[in-house]
Amino acid sequence: AYFTLQVIYARRKYKISPPETRGHPEFERIFRAQVNCSEYFPIFVSLLWVAGIFFHQGVAAVCGLLYLYTRFKYFQGYAVAAQGRLGPLYASARLLWLLLGLAVAGLLAHFLLP
């Protein structure tokens, strides 16, 4: 919701009416950051859910909180400059891979071990 509100504020600030997505470069970066975060959210929620159920709730929760923090930093960095998104982007990707590994390990343990 925070990211969506930032897009709304940027639309008002730069007078860009929906459904237009072009305009001031700062608006375009904020809009793109929000869309990128929205695209990855279903993947994140799915992995978080499976890792929490089949691996360990606490570990999955910590990874989830770290992921949300890195996405917040990604959004802030992208809003300032396109290069500002790279560090948090790589960190969030590593956390998604970690959640995937936890989910797979939990599923394998659940279905293969007696």
pLDDT digits over 69-78, tens only?
999 999 999 9
Residue 26: C-alpha distances to residues 21, 77, 89 (Å): 11, 11, 19
Q: Quick one: 110 exposed, middle or buried, by C-beta within 10 A (0-12, 13-18, 19+)? A: exposed
What are the domain boundaries of the chain?
1-113
Of the candidates 24, 42, 21, the one whose C-alpha atom is nearest the C-alpha of residue 32 is 21
Residues belonging to the active site: 12, 85
> pLDDT tens across 85-96, in order?
999 999 999 999
Determine the angle formed by the axes of helices 25-54 and 2-14, rounding to 10 degrees: 170
Helix/strand/coil percentages in the chain, nearest 5: 85, 0, 15
Per-residue confidence in pLDDT tens, the chain, 114 aa:
899 999 999 999 999 999 999 999 999 999 999 999 999 999 999 999 999 999 999 999 999 999 999 999 999 999 999 999 999 999 999 999 999 999 999 999 999 998
Does CATH number 1.20.120.550 belong to domain 1-113? Answer: yes
